[in-house]
Structure 1
Amino acid sequence: MKLGFDAKRVFHNTTGLGNYSRDTLRILAAQFPHHKYFLYNPKPGSVNRLVLTSNMVLCMPKAKVWQKLSSLWRQKAIVKDLMADKIEIYHGLTNELPIGIEKTNIKSVVTIHDLIFVRYPQLYSYIDAKIHFKKFKRAAQVADKIIAISEQTKKDIVSFLDVEASKIEVIYQGCHAAFKEVYNKDQKQEVAVKYSLPSKYLLNVGTIQERKNLLTIVKAIKDTQHHLVVVGKETTYIEKVKAFIRDNNMKQRVHFLRGVAMDELAMIYQMADIFIYPSIFEGFGIPIVEAMYSKTPVISSKGSCFSEAGGAESIYVEPHDEIALKKAILNIEENLELQEKMTLKGFEYVQRFNDDVIGNQILKLYKSL
């Protein structure tokens, strides 16, 4: 098959949507090398995290006018290139499909990650929320198939976008291979020294924004001696967190890391005592999966999709309940039997997110078209 992909975020995004796009392409190209994968990128990017294999073709706007108007090319004019390249199935990896694809013979798939802007519009500008809703709804309605990355997202698509459930397949997100590697003591020590990591620490990974709820972790450890390591892109929300840290003399115990490579992040996970993810709402929550591959106990939030990612043996608390979070941290620390059970059962559970499982499910969906 000739398979086309919206690859904008492969080359322009270092966080969730970029990681999903790269992992999907990596899994498919490695597992099914006899197909051809056309990666449509509107303009040269600065993110170089995908190794292009011989069965991948990088495609950019052919006409000079669309090289200058690359956003318009991605939204509509790309359809002519898809037809010229004889693409059989086009996959919008990040919530969007080009206008007019429904008028061609090209089958289309769109992955919808979440509808947080509908559930929590206060976290977005009015204009952004309106634009997102219009793009997502149009893509969902014209697509031949929709991939939802969790059962929670599927329910939201049905409820908010008025789409039949039968059109939606739940296919979970893959996980980067770095988190499945076993690193030796010297490698870990090198990372620990490079980032001045404490000997024992709690870990939080994810964009530092209000929805991710980092402040609740900081409040939970205020009257303890715990160290917290935080890895994530900063937003203005960090000022609220840092103000609390300053006011409570916690600067020496909360460590913010930048510029962390993927293999370094995997080692930071593996050296952590507990991974904490108190997000209010997510489409899936890939950091939970990364932690379980790393054999690190997980505490996350009740509700949303978190139990889908974390399974039955992770611990869940109300997202803003710092007292319950503190109790959960101490309970895990003081109970070696519980630690062992959480890491063992978590690692067993997370095998459902292995590359072969994800790849087979996606290819099955393509073949159904």
Structure 2
Amino acid sequence: MKIAFDGKRFFNNSSGLGNYSRDLVRILATSFPENDYVLFNENQSEKGKDILNLPNVFFVETSKGTMSRQFKMGIDAQKTNAGIFHGLSGELPLKWTDQPIKKIVTIHDLIFMRYPQYYSFFDRMIHFWKFKRASVQADVIIAISEQTKRDIIKFLKVPEEKIRVVYQGCHHAFKENQSEEFLISVKEKYLLPERFILNVGTIEERKNLLNVVKAVNGTKIPLVVVGKKTKYFKKIEKYILKHQLKSQIIFLENVSMEELAAIFKLADIFVYSSFFEGFGIPVIEALFSETPVITSNVSCLPEAGGKDSVYINPHDVEDIKAKILFLWNNESERKRRAEKSLVFVQKFNDENIAQDLMSVYRQIL
């Protein structure tokens, strides 16, 4: 079997869709080495270089020119006699020849429909047009959670039988037992406190970091935040300065994946109070790291967190504070939840995801 992929996110995105693309190709190539996996893009990058070194993963440079991804990539994939083309980020090429090829698209979320206030009118229209067009073209749509499946049915008017739910995994660094020496070196490099709670993700309004900051105000509990800053950070910074929390809250950027995995393991608690997610990869990163999770009781987050995570109303600062204090002051409860959650999170391991994906590929053929 030869499977072609839209490689744009694989090569160009450092996190999010990039991590999804690289993990998907990696786990398929290692779990099912008998197949060929071909990535199409205008150019390569250092991202995913180790995956391209696998003997069954190939790069094909697509035809150059304006809109080549939309009008030439699909035809280029057909020329290689690929049986399947998989769009990894909600899009499919617009132009194809008559040569048979099955089309699959992964849709991660429809947040631009649920929370239009976070997007410009132009961006919403473009996103909707691309996703709707891809959902019509595709033989099968992969949704990364039951929540996303429900949204695809509701907003894109796709029949349920066309959708398969295949969960995301996470980078293998979170599943590895890093040495004590490495953990100590990361702790010293970033001047991390002896105990702290952790928040990871782009610092944007939807992720709701401000309510976590408000929740730790008055507790003296250190909060470490790892994520790219947006203009929303100004609102958080203003609150921090007003309430003299600068020494209590540590912001980190440009952390490597291995270092991030170490920070997860060093944390006492992971807090993720997002208003909405398509899946919530940081939640399973925490669970694989054996760090107990406090997360929102909305969207797909209970799917990712399982029954032994602690759930909060993301709008209720006092609820967030109470749950943080509950786990912070109860070591045995943290340990119990971490152990049980480690069993639960195995459903998101590489082997299960690879089997689910390959099942979709085989069914479509």
Residue 18 of structure 2 is matched in structure 1 by 18
Can you give the 5+ residue segments of structure 1 that lack an aligned partner in the other structure?
Answer: none
Summarize deviations over 1:208-240 as a string: whole Å, max 9, x none: 100001101100011111111111111111111
Aligned counterpart in structure 1 of residue 172 of structure 2, from 177, 190, 193: 177
1:102 and 1:25 map into 2 onto residues whose CA distance is: 25
TM-score w.r.t. structure 1 length? 0.96
Equivalent residues in 2 for 1:215-294 (5 A)?
215-294=210-289
Residue 132 of structure 2 corresponds to residue 131 of structure 1: no
Equivalent residues in 2 for 1:333-348 (5 A)?
333-348=328-343
Match of 1:174, SS?
coil
2:173 and 2:238 map into 1 onto residues whose CA distance is: 34
Does the aligned pair in 1 maintain the 2:75–2:95 contact within 8 Å?
A: no
Aligned counterpart in structure 1 of residue 151 of structure 2, from 127, 148, 156: 156
Runs of 4 or more above 3 Å deviation: 43-50, 101-104
Match of 1:275, SS?
strand
Summarize deviations over 1:316-352 as a string: whole Å, max 9, x none: 1111211111100111122233212210111010000
Deviation at 1:142, TM superposition (A): 1.1
1:90 and 1:126 map into 2 onto residues whose CA distance is: 30
Deviation at 1:277, TM superposition (A): 0.3
Question: For the structure 1 residues 61 and 194, does the alpha-carbon distance in structure 2 shift closer, same or farther, using more than 3 Å as the test?
Answer: same
Aligned counterpart in structure 2 of residue 98 of structure 1, from 78, 83, 93: 93
2:270 and 2:236 map into 1 onto residues whose CA distance is: 18
Deviation at 1:80, TM superposition (A): 2.0
Deviation at 1:110, TM superposition (A): 0.4
2:48 and 2:75 map into 1 onto residues whose CA distance is: 27
1:48 and 1:292 map into 2 onto residues whose CA distance is: 24
Residue 317 of structure 1 is matched in structure 2 by 312
Does the aligned pair in 2 maintain the 1:22–1:50 contact within 8 Å?
A: no
Deviation at 1:46, TM superposition (A): 5.6
The code of the aligned residue for 1:313 comes to D
How many corresponding residue pairs?
Answer: 363
Deviation at 1:302, TM superposition (A): 1.1
1:50 and 1:327 map into 2 onto residues whose CA distance is: 44
Residue 62 of structure 2 is matched in structure 1 by 61
Can you give the 5+ residue segments of structure 2 that lack an aligned partner in the other structure?
Answer: none
2:205 and 2:313 map into 1 onto residues whose CA distance is: 15
Residue 322 of structure 2 corresponds to residue 327 of structure 1: yes
2:42 and 2:115 map into 1 onto residues whose CA distance is: 30
1:61 and 1:145 map into 2 onto residues whose CA distance is: 24
Question: For the structure 1 residues 19 and 228, does the alpha-carbon distance in structure 2 shift closer, same or farther, using more than 3 Å as the test?
Answer: same
The code of the aligned residue for 2:39 comes to L
Quote the RMSD (CA, aligned, Å): 1.3
Equivalent residues in 2 for 1:191-206 (5 A)?
191-206=186-201
Summarize deviations over 1:70-124 as a string: whole Å, max 9, x none: xx11112112211211111000011000013485411011000000000000100
Residue 116 of structure 2 is matched in structure 1 by 121
TM-score w.r.t. structure 2 length? 0.97
Deviation at 1:51, TM superposition (A): 2.6
Does the aligned pair in 2 maintain the 1:102–1:142 contact within 8 Å?
A: no
The code of the aligned residue for 2:300 comes to C
2:223 and 2:50 map into 1 onto residues whose CA distance is: 31
1:101 and 1:328 map into 2 onto residues whose CA distance is: 53
Residue 140 of structure 2 is matched in structure 1 by 145
Does the aligned pair in 2 maintain the 1:178–1:266 contact within 8 Å?
A: yes
Does the aligned pair in 2 maintain the 1:102–1:143 contact within 8 Å?
A: no
1:27 and 1:232 map into 2 onto residues whose CA distance is: 26
Percent of pairs with identical residues:
48
Match of 1:51, SS?
helix
